[in-house]
Amino acid sequence: MNPEEFKAQLTADGIELSNHQMDQFATYYQMLVATNEHVNLTTIVDEADVYLKHFYDSITPVFYDKSLQNETLTLCDVGAGAGFPSLPMKIVFPNLKVTIVDSLNKRITFLQDLVDQLGLKDVKLYHARAEEFGGKKSKHREQYDVSTARAVARMSVLAELCLPLVKVGGKMIALKAAQAETELVNGNQAIKTLGASVIDDEEFNLPVSDDPRHIIILSKDKKTPKQYPRKAGTPNKKPIGEPKK
């Protein structure tokens, strides 16, 4: 998917990109590839693959939750890495107020340079572990309309990292690939324990590559119990509701 095909596909999806937005994506690509030579940001560097598997893929949640397109929402992107999915969504929909948390400071440094270069407003970056960022004493706990994550962890773990950040009445949106159904079954107890419920699981295929994708949307129905998230590393080692290995 080259840049022109990227723009045409989004037009077909009902989203018109301006020349300025196309320039922002071009700059994003150039900075991503240049920085990736000395900081491990992505294994995908071919332009057509980046536009499809990073940029377009990151925008897909807006097809299934239209509030992202037109409401002034606070969105926390957990483990964003090179800025996915939040920054492509932010470029297309400036109404979003984005907070990114990532555990590697080199990635945060890249993202700050990127945000400055693209001229993006209402983007905050934090170098932190998600378990600490959403902890019971954190000012960020249950403050966001939406939390999101892509390629970070399986649902039972991801729920514990993301849901403590979401205010009651808000949503968690997970971008998933082929194993989503199994992850949901295994993560069901964690989702309930953390105060949420599944309201949508949209299955689709990316254009061009036909790669399978899922957008899973959870509703935050009640406050997350104070003991969650547990200390850094524990959610991954001992996921809620999953049998011990």
Residue stretches of the annotated binding site: 79, 84, 130-131, 150
Q: 110 and 35 in contact (C-beta within 8 Å)? A: yes
- Closest C-alpha among 142, 141, 155, 130 to residue 231: 130
Binding positions for S-adenosyl-L-methionine = 79, 84, 130-131, 150
Please state the φ and ψ torsions of residue 237, each to the nearest 5 degrees.
Answer: -75, -40
